[in-house]
Structure 1
Amino acid sequence: MTQTPASAAPLLRIQNLSKQFGVGPGAVRAVQNVSFDILPGETLGLVGESGSGKSTIGRMLTRLIEPTDGSLLYRYETREVDLARLSQGALRPLRADIQIIFQDPYASLNPRMRIRDVLGEALSTHGLAPGAARQKRIDELLEQVGLRPEHAERFPHEFSGGQRQRIGIARALAVEPRFIVADEPLSALDVSIQAQVVNLLGELKERLNLTLLFISHDLDVVEYLCDRVVVLYLGRVIEVAPTEALYARPRHPYTQALLAAAPIPDPAQRREIPLLSGDLPSPKNPPSGCVFRTRCPLAESRCAQADMQLRVVGEGHLQACWKAQ
């Protein structure tokens, strides 16, 4: 884990980002007024339960789905551009700057294409490595992610899950991006392979000076890989902090419960914080006030009207509970 200067100008500023699926009473508010910064060269972790909006945010940042509201202010060359407002034509030059690694490495690869064609398609789309340089660049990409040049002639089904994810990483790197969204890149892999992919991401990030948004539900990996962490609950940001501070002293009761839910290898060790009861509320009808109040051990009547504004509780540490200290 590297340390990024807190004074660095953000590479990406997410401001009041929202996403609603559908209209009328059945509409799902998947993400609501989310704001945070991503600094150049850092690895920012995005965590929360399933259904908290993590992948939706990642796909909005890459414009694979369109935001309903809010701004995505990205520092491109010498200016700041709002990705959320750009037409597809205006966005095209920035596509090489911003890439994504998908959760399912098999579903994201065309089963009818050889790997040289998968990687070559990315290069040709952006006009990179033309002619004789194409094959050399493909060989370099495969070697960069721990595969061999001869693997370029194989089809996706001829690889293991870990190898397919390496190919997905190579495809993201092919266009020399500055910023990569890694959308739960480990969840479809065997535990024995996950550490290899985590180490690969860390090495590539350092070597290529990449900025990563690492979306995951594996809190141990987030602690190991990330510089800062954003915690989501029901599409809202409820805590942001440097990784070391968050794991040493989580302030929001949801973050406390989330970390307490991580497996303990010693069966005789008792949990200091009880696990949450109940299920995540429906994003179609979220609770009023603080959306966590229906599961919160600190909840009282005021929480139904309380706002969820982030409050500073330490250096670079913000949380959205008015009672938590």
Structure 2
Amino acid sequence: MTTSANQLLEVRGLRKYFGSGSHPVRAVDDVNFCVNEGETLGLVGESGSGKSTIGRLLTRLIDPTGGQMIYRANGAEKDLAALSASAYRPLRSQIQIIFQDPYASLNPRMRIRDVIAEALDTHGLARGAARTPRIHELLQQVGLRPEHADRFAHEFSGGQRQRIGIARALAVQPRFIVADEPLSALDVSIQAQVVNLLGTLKQELGLTLLFISHDLDVVEYLCDRVVVLYLGRVMEVGPTEAIYARPLHPYTRALLEAAPIPDPAQRRTIPLLKGDLPSPANPPSGCVFRTRCPRVEAACERADMRLREVSPGRFTACWRDDSQ
């Protein structure tokens, strides 16, 4: 995949297999993409496509089976996949994660001030008298009030708890944040507020985001580029506007077609996805999407699945030249 001068993170041949023997579960299988400084990259796909696993790999909550995760910052280049736990620890302040379930990620026995202070203490930030003003500043930054610092997690709504999770991630002044489906546990009425908050913080703080989601409308609104995953593999990569206007891979087209249509008068012209997601322990040969593809041909069984660049910045794993 073509690299760019402002690349913050490059993923090369990333793999994560679970289990042993001849048929391990291939949760992530030879994934390649990059994240540019200051952008929001969307990671989309069905449940079971490997989105959250990639987020946990990038933050080293789990270890990869193989591949590289090249992180470029402050003139240095480090392979996150090759670092030991102790060698990775100094980078944890630069690479943070916002979890899907805000309540499960907050200690119910700790007041919010202690939740945020724990992050500050771990990385040696805002000690002593400077700690309380910094905690209040972070709470206000995410739309909460200073007095909220003395409450427990159960005293907040879901949207407020997610704001606390964002404040905790921001406490260590990160450069790169993985947002792992941060809206899926929230009411629809609250989701737009959190999306707008993330967009505002990105601009104000110069953050780079990997936004993992199954909500294609939110991805279209928030993300600069999109990576489409299926069964642990990348099907398509490109600028958001271009992908939504003209998807190159049949799977991307099927995902967009399956999204809800607000106008009941509109009719679908492309069949929706058929069948179930194959087992990642026994993926189909050739193109892994061929068992559900509406345009499958005999050649798909032996097709080359590697991403290829069909136009500047547009990549697809479909072997056809007439991908449209």
* Normalised-by-shorter TM-score class: over 0.9
Aligned to 1:57: 54
Moved over 4 A (4+): none
Aligned to 1:219: 216
Question: Contact between 1:30 and 1:235, CA under 8 Å: does it hold in 2?
Answer: yes
Aligned to 1:3: none
* Percent identity over paired residues: 76
Deviation by residue 1:237-281 (Cα, 9 ceiling, x = unmatched): 010010000000001000000000110111121012110110110
Aligned length: 320
Structure 1 position 17 matched with structure 2 position 14: yes
Alpha-carbon distance, 1:156 to partner: 0.2
Q: Which of 230, 249, 254 is equivalent to 2:251?
A: 254
Q: How does 1:1-325 map to 2 (within 5 A)?
A: 7-323=4-320, 324-325=323-324
Deviation by residue 1:43-72 (Cα, 9 ceiling, x = unmatched): 000000000000000000000000000001
Deviation by residue 1:127-173 (Cα, 9 ceiling, x = unmatched): 00010000000000000000000000000000000000000000000
Question: Contact between 1:8 and 1:40, CA under 8 Å: does it hold in 2?
Answer: no
Deviation by residue 1:196-217 (Cα, 9 ceiling, x = unmatched): 0000000000000000000000
Q: Which moved further from structure 2: 91-100 or 313-322?
A: 313-322
- What secondary structure, in the 3-state scheme, does the structure 1 residue paired with 2:12 have? strand
Q: Under a length normalisation based on structure 2, what TM-score does the superposition of the two structures give?
A: 0.97
Alpha-carbon distance, 1:315 to partner: 2.1
Partner Cα distance (1:43, 1:132) in 2? 35
Alpha-carbon distance, 1:9 to partner: 2.6
- What secondary structure, in the 3-state scheme, does the structure 1 residue paired with 2:128 have? coil
- What secondary structure, in the 3-state scheme, does the structure 2 residue paired with 1:132 have? helix
Structure 1 stretches lacking a partner, 5+ long: 1-5
**Alignment-mate amino acid for residue 92 of structure 2:** R
- What secondary structure, in the 3-state scheme, does the structure 2 residue paired with 1:108 have? coil
**Alignment-mate amino acid for residue 285 of structure 2:** S
Structure 2 stretches lacking a partner, 5+ long: none
Partner Cα distance (1:122, 1:81) in 2? 23
Partner Cα distance (1:313, 1:78) in 2? 31
